[in-house]
Amino acid sequence: MADDYEKRVKENEKANEEYLRIFREDLTASGLGEKTIRNHIENVDLLLNDYLPGYEDEFSMQDGMNCMYGFFSFFIRKCLWSTPATVKKQGASLKKFYKCMMEHGFIEKVDYNEFASNLKELLPEFAEECEDYNGGMDYYF
């Protein structure tokens, strides 16, 4: 059983490397600076390679679109740098990433549209939850 899990983790890590490579290429082609690109990649990597394999039963890149409540709860409570501002940046990175994945045919347009709509609706709630969790203080780094 553990061997099957480890095998799936390795397969997903390899796939995630390719997804992140494609994402990086698209961000570079769009003219973004290296620091901005690095931030987007790190934000998406947190979902793909830290949160999904550690906290979800199914943890492919596609599964990540359905884990926003769990992921943002994890981000707010486990990532010491989380603030309402970083919650919004995290959301922006995920939206860009999944749009890229849709444009490259890894997810369906209808699934992306549902994800983007849900994220837009929920992001203010996640930011407010983060502010409450941090005691009403928003630290800017």
CA 104, CA 22: separation in Å to the nearest integer?
9
| Model confidence band, residue 136 (pLDDT cutoffs 50, 70, 90) | low
CA 17, CA 23: separation in Å to the nearest integer?
10
Residue 133 and residue 81 in contact, taking contact as beta carbons nearer than 8 Å: no
Question: Comparing 20-29, 51-60, 75-84, which segment has the lowest mean pLDDT?
Answer: 51-60
| Model confidence band, residue 49 (pLDDT cutoffs 50, 70, 90) | very high
| 0.85 surpassed by pTM | yes
Classified as helix, coil or strand, 82 is coil
Nearest partner of 100 among 137, 72, 61, judged by Cα:
61
Name 91's Cβ contacts closer than 8 Å, sequence gap at least 6.
119, 123, 126
Q: Is residue 139 part of a domain?
A: no
Residue 139 has pLDDT above 70, yes or no: no
Q: Is residue 138 part of a domain?
A: no
| Model confidence band, residue 141 (pLDDT cutoffs 50, 70, 90) | very low
Q: Is residue 90 part of a domain?
A: yes
| Model confidence band, residue 1 (pLDDT cutoffs 50, 70, 90) | low
Q: Is residue 14 part of a domain?
A: yes
Q: Is residue 50 part of a domain?
A: yes
Neighbours of 80 (CB within 10 A): 6
Q: What is the mean pLDDT of the chain?
A: 92
Q: Is residue 57 part of a domain?
A: yes
Tokens of 72: 């943002």
Instruction: Classify residue 108 by its DSSP letter.
Output: -
Q: Is residue 140 part of a domain?
A: no
Nearest partner of 130 among 87, 81, 70, judged by Cα:
87
Q: Is residue 29 part of a domain?
A: yes
Angle at which helices 109-133 and 84-103 cross, to 10°: 170
In this prediction, residue 35 carries a pLDDT of 97
Mean pLDDT of 35-42: 98
The number of distinct structural domains making up the chain is 1
In this prediction, residue 87 carries a pLDDT of 97
Provide the domain limits for residue 50: 2-133
In this predicted model, what pLDDT tens digit does every residue of 66-101 receive, in sequence order? 999 999 999 999 999 999 999 999 999 999 999 999
